[in-house]
Structure 1
């Protein structure tokens, strides 16, 4: 496999691969959705972890998708194993229900936070799915499309959408006696496959997008929500006062920004914790930018090598962008290896000169643990002399003595690590 070309997947493409690995998308459809991929390619995430091997079969509209490593997960309700289930498992469960018949199942697409009107429509739809053996409605799927990419500002993201769908499931069970399965579906909108086709792959015979049952009047009221507060402010205050109240609410009274800078060996867990932290902060409505070390290498620092000077340049570039984000009141979360004390000190200086808080998080997972994880196979190659200047093996890692937080992920699970950082941030943010 070492000679097989690789393709680093974007977040949207990773959603597609997860769909395909779960049985909701064929290998040929996946290959068609990834323009420019060769007939035989290893698909990796942004950290270069090989996730799957895609092989197109010549002369046939088919292919083979071979899983290599588990698709990386994060935290949040959309990542709960109880809801993020592959299509083949959902199909099997529908067929295994006592007296169940997957052909009678109804899928409701929860693409927006449901209104009361859509709840009423859902109850009506579910009540008409036919009686199951217990006298209630037939099996119902609540399919929630969730993307890895961050939502547009001001919109409810994947965690909130899943929470609202779980609340809808409870209402449908209580009001219609429905057998409801809530499923978070990795969905980027790429690939030429429709959500209705995906729903069928999950076992649905009939699909209803819930927003289609939103009346024009309700849609107009939802669209007007951002203006409701402004109208109330204008009614309460004279013009000059209203302008100041609105300015403060929209960021005129800006908070001090924060740079959260993770450092640690490859495989220490810093990127996983950083991604999960950024997702939770974003879900809380805090403008957050994630600058992951490997992703930055593909863009901001493309072309740099791995000698000491190149590594220091890479870290300084990350620090510069993070400081710009924090200068304007945002939260920047960065997760490079950053092996040298001088480079980390420079990033701290850049953040403080921008008027931002700086939080250095040393993910202190021991080398032996990192090497045992070795998801990318880098340590084995470094030990074999195939990778020069590899931190922890042939290049030093200078452990920080000025970290605000030290976390060893050997025994600390990701949610606990994230909570540790969040508790510290709570002392800094108003």
Structure 2
């Protein structure tokens, strides 16, 4: 007898693990249910937090239904965020052969590790600098994946020319971003993952940090500004400083509004990652995720939608009142609901309203879940833009059409405006 089919909404850590598995980086797949034959329920549909089906896992393995949603930032750069299958194929005959070394850089390298790196790859022909990148934000004041990627890229030149350039460096040095859950499951080992990416040998760079350096790092709270410059190479020092910046900044709410499929969630996630990377303690309140938790059971009539938006505004204001930055991304179709959020937020800190004005026809073409098509057929009542109105904001601080503006440029616009608001609030 087979176990009945089911659906499972994956956490951010599980999404990282799924992306790694689909790319050939590991054989461990989320969605397994203990107690079932082989540990797997037949045909479990895996979805993201927006309930978009992205893969099916069963006794026969896992296969993708559609690409996972992507965000912005250096840790999402497609030239670095390559699958294990792609990296191994590019290495060709060198994959798995002596001379191909993977170096895992899971913490900002100090000068000690930067020097050790030269010796670790002295005999390598190909060097893969594997940088773990988690969807889940790090703790306050800790460097996130964007800053870590930038820091590792700043070391590439030194790897190419070890020992002052007297000895020839490796033929190729590549920074490879690896999806990696912040809480890794049992059995997920860097040695195995490095081999799947084509390395003959895998080392973890942080394991070559000496006790004296660890003691100095522990003392950074007291010796911070001078010690950062002494401990880290210049490029790495800048990223550590960025992560700690804004520890005492005032709070704020960034409120994205727009049609389903306009790009709100993508922009909000990318902005939250950038803010976390700068130590601004961002909290993401995505519309679909809030519906699953804070507003479960609410309908989609006007009163229910207004209540959902007010709940988001209330939580966002609480975050801002404690010095954090709340990044919210509901549809929020009605001006009255947005006005209430503004009132709550401005009582707690700075407020920034971002209208994602992507045209309806573009949103329909992007629809990953087929909701617009169902609404057109009358299968979904009260669907914004089709059978329920969207009242365009007249008081937006920024208006962005994602069919004309790239994610990176849009996030830069919002970030610049937000920092200006925070500076004004602090002054």
TM-score interval, normalised by the smaller of the two chains: 0.7 to 0.9
Match of 1:51 in 2: 54
SS in 1 for 2:336: helix
Contact 1:33–1:191 (Cα < 8 Å) also in 2: no
Name the Cα RMSD after superposition.
2.4
Answer whether contact 1:33 1:190 (CA < 8 A) is retained: no
In structure 2, the partner of 1:275 is 269
- Note if contact 2:5-2:41 (Cα within 8 Å) is conserved in structure 1: no
> Does the Cα contact within 8 Å between 1:341 and 1:398 map onto a contact in 2?
yes
C-alpha contact 1:268 1:365 (8 A) present in aligned 2: yes
Does 2:402 correspond to 1:405?
no
Inter-partner Cα distance in structure 2 for 1:251 and 1:374: 37
Measured after TM superposition, the shift of residue 6 of structure 1 is: 2.5
Aligned counterpart, 2:73: 76
* Alpha-carbon distance in structure 1 between the residues aligned to 2:91 and 2:303: 57
Equivalent in the alignment of 2:24: 23
- Alignment CA distance shift 1:328-1:394 (3 Å): same
Q: TM-score, normalised by structure 1?
A: 0.86
Q: 2:357 is matched with which residue?
A: 364
**1:356-405 residue CA offsets vs partner (Å, 9 max, x unmatched):** 22211111111111011111211111112222221111222111112121
Structure 1 position 172 matched with structure 2 position 173: no
- Check conservation: 1:6, 1:41, Cα contact below 8 A: yes
Q: Is the 8 A contact 2:31 2:46 kept in 1?
A: no
Q: Does 1:92 align with 2:95?
A: no
Question: How is 1:10-409 mapped onto 2 (pairs within 5 angstroms)?
Answer: 10-26=11-27, 29-32=29-32, 38-54=41-57, 56-57=58-59, 63-95=60-92, 100=94, 102-104=96-98, 105-127=100-122, 129=123, 137-175=124-162, 177-178=169-170, 179-188=172-181, 189-192=183-186, 193-229=188-224, 255-354=249-348, 356-409=349-402
Measured against aligned partners, the alpha-carbon deviations of 1:55-83 in whole angstroms (never above 9, x if no partner) come to: x22xxxxx232222211111111111111
Mark the runs of 5 or more structure 1 residues left unpaired by the alignment. 58-62, 130-136, 233-248
Deviations 1:327-374 (A, max 9, x none): 2222111000001111111111111222x2221111111111101111
Q: CA deviation at 1:49?
A: 2.0
CA shift, 1:17, in A, is 0.7
- Structure 1 SS opposite 2:161: helix
Query: Are residues 76 and 33 of structure 1, via their aligned partners in 2, closer, same or farther at CA, if it must alter by over 3 Å?
Result: farther
Q: Is the 8 Å Cα contact of residues 73 and 274 (structure 2) preserved in structure 1?
A: yes
**Residue 101 of structure 1: how far off its partner (Å):** 5.0
Q: How many residues align?
A: 392
SS in 2 for 1:143: strand
SS in 1 for 2:192: helix
Whether the aligned pair in 1 keeps the contact of 2:33 and 2:41 (CA below 8 Å) is no
Q: Secondary structure at the match of 1:102?
A: coil
Aligned partner of residue 317 in structure 1, secondary structure:
helix
After alignment, is 16-25 or 301-310 more displaced?
A: 301-310
Secondary structure in 2 matching 1:429:
helix
Which residue matches 1:427?
420
1:40 Cα deviation (Å)? 0.9
TM-score by structure 2 length?
A: 0.86
Distance in 2 (CA, whole Å) between partners of 1:212 and 1:291 is: 36
